[in-house]
Structure 1
Amino acid sequence: MDNDLPPFAMIEFFFGDCDAALTIMSRGKRFHVFLTTEDLRGPQEDEALVQTFHSFRKSIDDDPQAMEAFEEWMLKPCVSYMNQLAPSIPRVEPPSLAEYFNPETFFLKLAKKEGRLEAIRCPVDPSVTHSLTPRVLMPDPIVSEAISEGVPCIPASQLVAILEPDAHEADYDLVPNTVRAIGRDTQFHFKGAFEQKSFRRELDTLLRFRSDSFPGDLFVSRLGGLVTWDDGLSVMGLLVEYVHGSETLGYAAEEAPKAEKEKWARQIRATVKRLHDANITWGDVKPDNVLIDPNGDAWVIDFGGGCADGWVDQELEGTKEGDLQGLAGIESFLEITAVGHEARET
């Protein structure tokens, strides 16, 4: 990407037929950049920039480099604003969750001026900033249940992102996934409450895993706590216990022997059967939602629902049938015949 662009991390991206928008973090500031084909035409009704827009639109699904080129096309007119509003400063410590999700935010509209694309600063749109902020109010029934059961509540200002020692400047602007409490070494996986339905589903499932019906020898995600906004009125997300030294099934399977793959398939299918016996569905079944720990055991993770193309048919989302379809896909991915027939459900 162009060297004139300051370091940044992509947060959100939308590309419609007649408009586009992207949100980035750069040096601790958030920028929301948007355009419409009407603004690209300008008063002279010139189609040159519109044609460029549609050219990107046609190629972006098939050409991996088209996405990066389109990002650069949208962001290059914003460089002067980015350098002015987010000046380069030494980043000594990673941000807290409170700092990261409540940054100063700037809105820039792209429009045609004198035949070229130019950025224009606009007022902040509260509806957009709201959509970028993970938040569920405390009176939510599932949140109230978690608190009544003694789930730890940790203020977002007390949780910081964990970065590698050789982290680049742009890494400080990535959405925090792995966090720890200030002054402590225990790591957690952070999941923000961006989609309330998904958040409630996962929290409800993880609360059920705290019961005696799901002992510690069941390899599933475990709830580590709730992350609260510092106003004490709402929840930012949840913490999942971190599986140290793990990698996703997709990576682990690349060089694993057949016997190891068969073991993982048996473990995954047995875990899902125990979930189904308790009337719990996994939902988003795919290799990325299986972790292999250093002991070679397969963990089933991510209970927020949804489904990925090619793994579970949309009409089967959130059903036991969908889980079984996804399991068959995982076994096919592992290049083994179906295992654990005794665990299959009828």
Structure 2
Amino acid sequence: MNTEYTDAMSSSTASNRSLEYHVLNLFYDNEDNCALTALINNVRFHVIAETAKVRHSRIGQEYAKLLQAVKEGSLEDDLPSSDSGIDVRDSSDEDEAKLVAHGEDAEEALQRWMLSPLQSDIDEYAPIQSESAQISLAEWFDLPSHWYNLETKDKALHAIELEPDEDLHRRISKLLPEISIPKYIREVDAPFYQPADLIVSACSNVPPPYRPTRIQLSDSKDILFLKLVDPGQPQCTKREISILDRIAKKGLHDHIRCPRLKGIVTSGNDRTKIMGFLQTDIPNPVPLTIKLDAEVPQKLRDHWASETQRMKDVLHEHSIVWGDAKADNFMVDENDELWIIDFGGSYTEGWVDPKLNESMEGDDMGVDKIVNALHDPVANTWDPDTEKSFGGSPEINAKDKKRKAEHQDQEEEEPVVKKQRQSSAEQQKVYCYCDGPSSGRMIACDSVDCEREWFHFDCVGISEPPSDDREWFCEDCEAAE
């Protein structure tokens, strides 16, 4: 079909504001070509805007301005980070107001501009549904799809529907979350489910993108939280599943409040590939970041401060590093109880120094900042240098800068001097066959029982890591197999 964008931008935008859609993906390249995938009434619309095809002076200028505004980042900056993957859409009205940007931001304006020429096709292909029918997770990722190119003709913008070819199918396949998993993940103490056996109970776009978040088992009324994998960060999923399994096996759920691993979601029938995992659904979670507010009762904040320290200490007592310690990775439920989440690792600038990535010292640093912010949110939840909330007080930031400067100085030091400056904890922690500290490029052994855990590339004779779908074992663990 060929639908036209009206000559009056203002009237088109106004009429299209009522269109309800959900963004599955928004992408633009260095040549200012843009691609949007939107879900409307359980139908996917893929819209491609190529600079060469929207060259008409007025329309081209509108597109250029909208895309430039998106590039400049003129979006609300108060949303929780997306890496935790927790659905916070059921927050209270007060908390929801802090989580969702008001009005039309630059990204939304561009999305609506791209969808405007499709209005008649949307009415035909995706009529409003009186009641949403239950669909399986497999069906959700295989919904009807339509592809379009935007083009200018006769001073108007048109949407040209495309016949799906191999390239278009390849693009849509990239929207499917999937990673390969090694043997130690396949052997965790959790059931495996196929997408066809899971019913989508709820979806969310907070944090984006829009995705299924709550799942019901086909033979049960229980609702579980679904955390989809990020194909670009497969190690985060492997780490989190492994740690949740360790927490359960060590009986730590009796001591800390964190989601239980409830199942692994395969990608079809193949157990070597997964699209996510199921865990306890936290009732109406709100990121602790939102609670770093002087209006929240001091007694509650003091209690949460004590709990953050205690939970972190319990993990460390059992040799478990949390990783990515920050307020967004604590959740407050509807009963004001605190949950610790997200064991995928890494770090967030402003909370943990990069040099302390996935270390106990990094956990200590992040939790100390959380505690300070809870005790005194006015003094400790604003970073004037980055103009971002929850980055720490000026005093904390000054310490971070000093710490970073010291690490930069260490990079220039001789190895012997550098080793002398390491903390005693760092000196004691050794890896690899060489019994040396963590340094340079390293690879993890895929055996969950490996005593050395990490190995230097040089020591094991490799220059590049193996592909993600291949397991790698050190000599000792390979012999034990």
Bin the TM-score by the shorter chain.
Answer: 0.7 to 0.9
Q: How does 1:45-60 map to 2 (within 5 A)?
A: 46-60=56-70
Change (3 A) 1:82 1:307: farther
> What does residue 132 of structure 1 align with?
175
> What does residue 28 of structure 1 align with?
42
SS at match of 1:210: helix
SS at match of 1:95: coil
Q: 1:110 aligned to 2:150?
A: yes
Looking at structure 2, the residues matched to 296 and 89 of structure 1 have their Cα atoms a distance apart, in angstroms, of 36
| Structure having the higher Rg | 2
RMSD between superposed Cα atoms in Å: 3.1
What displacement does 1:295 show? Answer: 5.1
> What does residue 74 of structure 2 align with?
62
Looking at structure 2, the residues matched to 70 and 158 of structure 1 have their Cα atoms a distance apart, in angstroms, of 37
Looking at structure 1, the residues matched to 51 and 346 of structure 2 have their Cα atoms a distance apart, in angstroms, of 32
Amino acid at match of 1:216: D
Task: Give the conservation status (yes or no) of the 8 Å contact 2:288–2:332.
Answer: yes
Q: How does 1:87-106 map to 2 (within 5 A)?
A: 87-106=127-146
Task: Give the conservation status (yes or no) of the 8 Å contact 2:302–2:375.
Answer: no
What displacement does 1:223 show? Answer: 0.4
Looking at structure 2, the residues matched to 142 and 327 of structure 1 have their Cα atoms a distance apart, in angstroms, of 30
CA deviations 1:281-301 (Å, max 9, x no partner) are 333333332122455432110
> What does residue 170 of structure 1 align with?
none
* Number of equivalenced pairs: 325
> What does residue 7 of structure 1 align with?
20
CA deviations 1:287-346 (Å, max 9, x no partner) are 3321224554321101223544543455654344443343233234324399xxxxxx96
> What does residue 184 of structure 1 align with?
220
SS at match of 2:265: strand
**Alignment TM-score, normalising by the size of structure 2:** 0.60
Change (3 A) 1:68 1:260: same
Q: 1:194 aligned to 2:233?
A: no
Change (3 A) 1:324 1:53: farther
Q: How does 1:132-211 map to 2 (within 5 A)?
A: 132-137=175-180, 140-146=182-188, 149=189, 151-163=190-202, 174-195=210-231, 196-211=234-249
Q: How does 1:137-286 map to 2 (within 5 A)?
A: 137=180, 140-146=182-188, 149=189, 151-163=190-202, 174-195=210-231, 196-212=234-250, 214-233=252-271, 234-254=273-293, 255-286=295-326
What displacement does 1:16 show? Answer: 4.1
SS at match of 1:87: coil
Q: Unaligned stretches of 5+ in structure 1?
A: 168-172, 339-344
> What does residue 120 of structure 1 align with?
160
SS at match of 1:13: strand
What displacement does 1:93 show? Answer: 2.6
Looking at structure 2, the residues matched to 329 and 120 of structure 1 have their Cα atoms a distance apart, in angstroms, of 53
Q: 1:80 aligned to 2:120?
A: yes
Looking at structure 2, the residues matched to 94 and 315 of structure 1 have their Cα atoms a distance apart, in angstroms, of 47
Task: Give the conservation status (yes or no) of the 8 Å contact 2:202–2:213.
Answer: no
**Alignment TM-score, normalising by the size of structure 1:** 0.80
SS at match of 1:98: helix
Looking at structure 1, the residues matched to 122 and 223 of structure 2 have their Cα atoms a distance apart, in angstroms, of 33
Looking at structure 1, the residues matched to 253 and 348 of structure 2 have their Cα atoms a distance apart, in angstroms, of 29
